Amino acid sequence: MGIIWTIIIGFVIGVIAKLVHPGRDNLGFIMTTLIGIAGAVLMGYLGHFVGWYEPGQTAGFIASVIGAVILLAIYGRIQSA
């Protein structure tokens, strides 16, 4: 059941990141989900390592969206190059 929640939360984070990120992103369901999951994992480890928040706090969700927006921007730059 954990992997299903990871995919669902990753998709939600990816969609929010696409809404926050300026510009037009032509990403499908799979790439949106993967970028959301990667943003959540990246910022989850970074936030816990630095001590910004504990597991389950709202700050972790916000940080995950920020991480996904950063990854979306990087992905957009790579695609346009």
User: How far, CA to CA in Å, does 32 sit from each of 40, 54, 56?
Assistant: 12, 26, 22
The pLDDT-based confidence of 1 (bands split at 50, 70, 90) is low
Q: What is the pLDDT of residues 4-54, one digit of tens each?
A: 887 888 889 888 988 888 777 777 788 888 888 898 888 888 888 888 887
Query: Residue 52: how many CB atoms within 10 A of its CB?
Result: 13
Exposure of 50 by Cβ count < 10 A (0-12 exposed, 13-18 middle, 19+ buried)?
exposed
Show me where the domains of the chain are located.
2-80
Residue 49 CB coordination number (10 Å): 8
**pTM as predicted:** 0.82
Task: Please check the confidence at residue 68 and state whether its pLDDT lies above 80.
Answer: yes
- Find the distance separating the first CA and the last CA of the chain, reported in whole Å: 39
